[in-house]
Amino acid sequence: MASNPTPLLTITPLKPSEIPPEEDIIQQGTALIEATASWKAGKTHFGVVHTSSRGKLTGDGAPWYCRTSEHKPSEITFDQLWDKLSHDKAENELQFIHEIQKVTKVQQRSPTAAIWTLYYTFTPPVSPRVFTELQVISYSEEAPRTGLIVSLPIDLTGAGDEALHLLEEKGTRGRYVSVERVTELANGDTEWRMATSSTPGGSIPGFIVDSTMAKKISSVRLLLIFQVLLVRLR
C-alpha cells in the first residue's frame, strides 16, 4: 500500500503542543486538494455536485471523499462564499447544519488559526458527537483568487490542556480532517472543492459511514447556498 504523501492530514488527533507550523499545514492541504483531480470519480448528486474518492493509504485512518461544484455569481459569489468559510466557519456552520447544536472557540492561536469544538446531536439511538478541530486559513489575491481552509482533529485530554478540555461538551469523540478550496474562475464563476476523511467514533460500522459520505458532504453545499439566498431576499 502506498504511503500518504500528506502525513499531517489524518484523522489521528494532535495535541495542541504537537501542532506544526501553519505553512506546513497549508502546504500539505494544497497538495491534497490538487491531487483530488485524479481521484476516482463517483456519483453526481443534486445534478451539480461531483464526487470522487481515494482509498486508505498507509498512515490514513479512513478513506477520503471529495465534492466539487461550480457556482454562477447569481447563486453565490467568490466573496460571499469565502466570507462564510473564512470568518468563524464553525459559527456559520451552526446556522445551516441542523445536527450542530453548539460551537465554541477554544483557542485563537493566530490571526489565521483557531481551535473550535463542535457538538452534534442525531436521531436516537445515535449518541451526541463532539468534534474538536484546528482550522487554518490561507488566502491569495493573485489570479485566480483562492482561499484555503484546512481542519485537523485536536485532542484536548492531555496534561496541560485541562482548561481547554473544560470547554468541550460531553459526547462520543469523532474526528475529521478536511481541506476546502474556493477558487475564482476566469469566467467569473466560483469553484468550491472540499475533501474530507472522518470517523464518527463509537460503534457505528465504517461501511455505513463510507456508503453515505459522498451524498452527505454534497448536501452541505446546498444548505449553505440556501442560507446565502435567504439573506439576499431579506
pTM above the 0.85 mark?
yes
Domain ranges of the chain: 16-233
Burial of 27 (C-beta count, 10 Å sphere; 0-12/13-18/19+): middle
- Counts of helices then strands in the chain (DSSP H, E): 5, 10
**CATH code for 16-233?**
3.30.530.20
Lowest-pLDDT range of 101-110, 127-136, 165-174, 204-213 = 204-213
148-170 tens-digit pLDDT: 999 999 999 999 999 999 999 99
What integer pLDDT is reported at residue 219 of this predicted model? 53
The mean per-residue pLDDT over the stretch 195-219 comes to 57
Q: Say which residues have a Cβ less than 8 Å from residue 55's Cβ, sequence separation at least 6.
A: 63
